């Protein structure tokens, strides 16, 4: 198979760029713990309201520098009373659904996760600036999908 000299240069450049891109993404992910939302915990979608931590949704302080926020998503809203968290501290979000697939997305942040019934999605995030942030659902969940939102206050 004949390869033109310029094509060899072009493909070598392309493959080198590919290696660099993937290394940047991989190193940042696995050595700096910079991975997307996820988690392997499961839950009975019919028993969400009686399973910890979703039996008492909302903010819990875990230690001096860590807070946990448990959120129950349902068509068409989020059950998480008094969402107030401090800036500069690690916030661990744990989100699940009692019905269909939703998302839990906080505007202007990297918190943008899929909520799948039967699974618990976990995401750690540290807010830098205080303020009121819009939370919304960006996965179609039914007639009221575009009315599914909430707010989190960072102090």
Partner 1 sequence: MIAAKDRKIALWNIGVAYTAFLIGTLCGLLQVFIRNDALQLPAWLDYYQILTAHGVLLALIYTAFFIFGFFVTGMSKTLGTFGPKVWLFSWIGFWVTLAGTVLATIMIVSGEASVLYTFYAPLKASGWYYVGLALYVVGTWISSFALIAHYLVWRKAHKGEMSPLFAFMTIATLVLWLIACLGVVATVLFQYIPWAFGWTDTINVELSRSLFWYFGHPLVYFWLLPAYMAWYLIVPKLLGVKVFSDSLARLSFVLFILFSIPVGFHHQLTEPGISNFWKFLQVVLTFMVIVPSLMTAFSMFATFETSGRKKGAKGLFGWFAMLPWKDVRFTSIFIAMAFFIPGGAGGIINASFQLNEVVHNTLWIVGHFHITVGTPVAMTFMGMTFWLIPYLTGRKFTKSMQTLGFVQIITWSIGMLLMSTAQHVLGLLGAPRRTAYSSYNNHPAALEWFDGILTSHVTMAIGGSILFISAMMLMYIVVMTMFLSPKAEKPEDIVEFPLADSDRESSPKFLENWKIWIGIAFALILIAYAIPLSSMIQHAPPGSEGLKTW
Site residues, partner 1 (CB under 8 A):
1-4, 6-7, 10-11, 14-15, 18, 21-22, 25-26, 28-30, 34-46, 75-76, 99-101, 103, 105, 107-108, 110-114, 116-122, 133-134, 136-147, 149, 151
Q: What is the CA radius of gyration of the chain?
A: 20
Is the Cβ of residue 57 or residue 139 nearer to partner 1 in the bound state?
A: 139
Is the Cβ of residue 4 or residue 82 nearer to partner 1 in the bound state?
A: 4
Is the Cβ of residue 89 or residue 145 nearer to partner 1 in the bound state?
A: 145
State the minimum distance, in angstroms, from the CB of residue 67 to partner 1: 20
Calpha distance 45→129 (Å, rounded): 34
Is the Cβ of residue 60 or residue 122 nearer to partner 1 in the bound state?
A: 122
Report whether 134 contacts 107 (CB < 8 A).
yes
- Helix, strand, or coil (residue 47): helix
Report whether 121 contacts 99 (CB < 8 A).
no
State the minimum distance, in angstroms, from the CB of residue 73 to partner 1: 12
Tokens of 143: 């007639």
Calpha distance 75→132 (Å, rounded): 23
């Amino acid at each position: 198979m004949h390869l033109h000299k310029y094509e060899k240069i072009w493909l070598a450049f392309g493959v080198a760029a590919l290696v660099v891109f993937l290394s940047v993404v991989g190193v940042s992910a696995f050595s700096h713990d910079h991975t997307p939302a996820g988690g392997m915990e499961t839950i009975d979608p019919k028993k969400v309201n009686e399973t910890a931590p979703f039996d008492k949704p909302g903010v819990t302080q875990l230690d001096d520098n860590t807070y946990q926020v448990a959120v129950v998503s349902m068509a068409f809203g989020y059950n998480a009373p008094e969402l107030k968290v401090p800036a500069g501290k690690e916030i661990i979000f744990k989100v699940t659904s009692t019905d269909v697939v939703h998302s839990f997305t906080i505007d202007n942040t990297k918190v943008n996760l899929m909520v799948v019934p039967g699974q618990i999605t976990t995401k750690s995030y540290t807010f830098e600036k205080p303020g009121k942030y819009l939370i919304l659902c960006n996965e179609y969940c039914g007639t009221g999908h575009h009315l599914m939102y909430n707010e989190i206050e960072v102090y």
